[in-house]
């Protein structure tokens, strides 16, 4: 049972994550936030009933929401190692790696994580172990095995389904096994040599059947999409979140085929996007510093180079049209280490024109809303789960201060205090 506690900090994020409340205290009872008040209004006897934690000169935020992880894969600077291990490692190694990754993410301030694809006999038992308190980890929302075509993107940990009928059956099977949402691969991906990222894996009719089935079963459905044709299919079908949202032309000799009208339709339909710019920026910084070799491009994009800046121009236009972004790092892919969720906000500021506060809101309250968890977590306000992260410094001034977590609370349990892991 989590303890009743008071967390006093010089800076506490307000409920909209738009400004600091100075010298406030967050009162936690039964794992939930019961009040947020100026420290001067705390009663003298509160320490008789609550553990009082003087966090001091820190910035106290809602815990980060990481919307895109693959808990079982080996993140790291070498894409070939990540790929090789995803193909070849044993189930037991996947599970042990996932356990380690969840603890790492939690101690970095991630209190909610959405896993967007892993083997069902790995990710579901690991989630059960977190829920049972056997291992530490963030609150988890799992897609289970991503649905893909035969030999399609991530077939090696996916659920292969080709026709609309097979896709509908695969969705039912994932939900039956315990999936909280559905991930479907609408195009090929860079991680899969046998797939083509520039072409659609499913026609719009199949994606529409998938959306109808997911909605019938009351689960969200999100889709990996790298090719413009796939993005278009997803938007027309009403997929709830576009993962990556890269608009590669299907013609190998061309760059992007961005369609602003389709982006407008996405905004009008309330479709979210996960641009996964964080891990790309981490990789670009390392490559520029000479720490790691340049990426080896997938065969489908090797003939025509598209710079990150070209993608970012498109993403900025999508945002200006009203598409809202979630903070998904693609944890588990190269440069997507499990302590780097803060890179999402950093990249939104550096690449996409967010203010620091907009980026902090994206990482917390906005992404919670997208995950349909807005009444459970994502803000510091009475009634919500006590999911908190304190960082040294002030990320309103320097967004990279989000990389300096000192204290972490998940569902009312203090798991890191003053830089020291308690789990
Ligand atoms: Zn991914």
The full set of domains in the chain, from first to last, is 5-63+378-421 (2.30.40.10), 65-370 (3.20.20.140)
Distance 7 CA to ligand 1 centre (A): 35
The Cα 124–Cα 98 span in angstroms is 11
Parallel/antiparallel/unpaired status of strands 51-62 and 139-142: unpaired
Q: What confidence score (pLDDT) does residue 48 get?
A: 96
Judge contact between 363 and 379, C-beta under 8 A: no
Q: Are 160 and 265 in contact (CB under 8 A)?
A: no
Q: Is the entire prediction scored with pTM above 0.75?
A: yes
Give the tokens for residue 208. 């529409």
Residue 255 CA, ligand 1 centroid: distance in Å: 22
How close is the Cα of 332 to the center of ligand 1, in Å? Answer: 8
Q: If you measure from the C-alpha of residue 32 to the centroid of ligand 1, how many angstroms do you get, rounded to a whole number?
A: 31
pLDDT at 1: 61
Residue listed under structure tokens 């994009």:
301
The pLDDT of residue 126? 98
Sign of the alpha-carbon dihedral angle for 177, 178, 182, 184: negative
Q: What is the per-residue pLDDT across 39-97, written as a single tens digit (0 to 9) for each?
A: 999 999 999 999 999 999 999 999 999 999 999 999 988 888 888 888 889 999 999 99
| DSSP three-state, residue 266 | helix
Distance CA 65, CA 113 (A): 6
Residues 6 or more apart whose Cβ sits within 8 Å of residue 132: none
Among 413, 291, 401, smallest CA distance to 13 is for 401
Q: Report the Cα–Cα distance between both ends of the chain, in Å, rounded.
A: 15
228-237 and 260-268 helices, crossing angle to 10°: 30
The pLDDT value given to residue 419: 97
CA of 344 relative to ligand 1 center, distance in Å: 14
Place of tokens 């890269």: 246
Ligand 1: centre distance to CA 180 (Å):
16
Reduced DSSP (H G I as helix, E B as strand, rest coil) percent helix, strand, coil of the chain, to 5 = 35, 25, 40
Tell me, in angstroms, the distance from the centre of ligand 1 to residue 211's CA.
19
Sign of the Cα pseudo-torsion (146, 152, 153, 154, in order): positive
State the pLDDT at residue 3: 85
Residues with CB under 5 A from ligand 1 (ion): 330
Contact 326, 241 (CB under 8 A): yes
CB within 8 Å of 371: residues ≥ 6 apart:
65, 67, 112, 114, 141, 220, 326
In sequence order, what are the residues at sequence separation of 6 or more whose Cβ sits closer than 8 angstroms to the Cβ of residue 103?
135, 136, 137, 423
How far is the CA of 270 from the CAs of 261, 322, 323, 337, 369, in angstroms?
Answer: 14, 8, 7, 30, 12
- In this structure, the strands spanning 147-148 and 159-160 are parallel
- By the 8 A CB rule, do 240 and 184 touch? no
pLDDT in tens, 233-267: 999 999 999 999 999 999 999 999 999 999 999 99
* 357 Cα: distance to centroid of ligand 1 (angstroms): 26
Q: Which residues of the chain have pLDDT under 50?
A: none
């Amino acid at each position: 049972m989590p303890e009743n506690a008071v967390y006093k900090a010089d800076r506490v994020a307000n409920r909209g994550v738009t400004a600091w409340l100075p010298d406030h205290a967050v009162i936690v009872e039964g794992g939930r936030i019961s009040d947020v008040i100026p420290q001067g209004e705390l009663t003298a006897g509160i320490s008789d009933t609550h553990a009082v934690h003087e966090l001091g000169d820190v910035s106290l935020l809602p815990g980060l929401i990481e919307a895109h992880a693959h808990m079982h894969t080996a993140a790291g600077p070498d894409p070939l190692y990540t790929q090789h291990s995803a193909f070849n490692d044993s189930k037991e190694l996947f599970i042990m790696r996932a356990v380690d990754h969840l603890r790492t993410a939690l101690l970095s301030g991630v209190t909610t994580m959405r896993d967007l694809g892993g083997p069902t006999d790995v990710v579901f038992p690991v989630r059960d172990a977190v829920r049972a308190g056997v291992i530490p980890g963030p609150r988890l929302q799992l897609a289970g095995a991503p649905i893909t075509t035969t030999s399609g993107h991530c077939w090696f940990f996916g659920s292969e389904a080709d026709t609309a009928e097979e896709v509908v059956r695969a969705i039912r099977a994932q939900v039956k096994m315990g999936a909280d949402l559905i991930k479907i691969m609408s195009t090929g991906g860079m991680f899969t040599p046998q797939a083509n990222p520039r072409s659609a894996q499913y026609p719009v009719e199949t994606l529409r059947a998938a959306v109808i089935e997911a909605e019938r079963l009351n689960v969200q459905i999100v889709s990996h999409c790298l090719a413009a044709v796939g993005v278009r299919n997803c938007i027309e079908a009403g997929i709830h979140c576009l993962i990556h949202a890269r608009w590669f032309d299907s013609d190998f000799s061309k760059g992007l085929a961005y369609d602003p009208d389709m982006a407008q339709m996405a905004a009008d339909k309330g479709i979210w996007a996960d641009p996964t710019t964080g891990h790309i920026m981490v990789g670009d910084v390392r490559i520029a510093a000479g720490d790691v070799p340049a990426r080896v491009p997938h065969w489908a994009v090797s003939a025509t180079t598209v710079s990150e800046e070209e993608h970012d121009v498109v993403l900025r236009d999508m945002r200006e049209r009203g598409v809202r972004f979630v903070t998904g790092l693609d944890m588990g892919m190269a440069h997507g280490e499990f302590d780097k969720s803060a890179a999402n906000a950093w990249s939104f500021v550096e690449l996409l024109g967010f203010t620091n506060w907009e980026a902090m809101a994206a990482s917390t309250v906005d992404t919670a809303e997208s995950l349909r968890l807005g009444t459970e977590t994502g803000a510091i306000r009475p009634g919500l789960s006590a999911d908190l992260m304190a960082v040294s410094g002030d990320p309103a001034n320097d967004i990279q201060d989000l990389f300096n977590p000192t204290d972490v609370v998940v569902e009312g349990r203090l798991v890191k205090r003053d830089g020291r892991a308690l789990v």
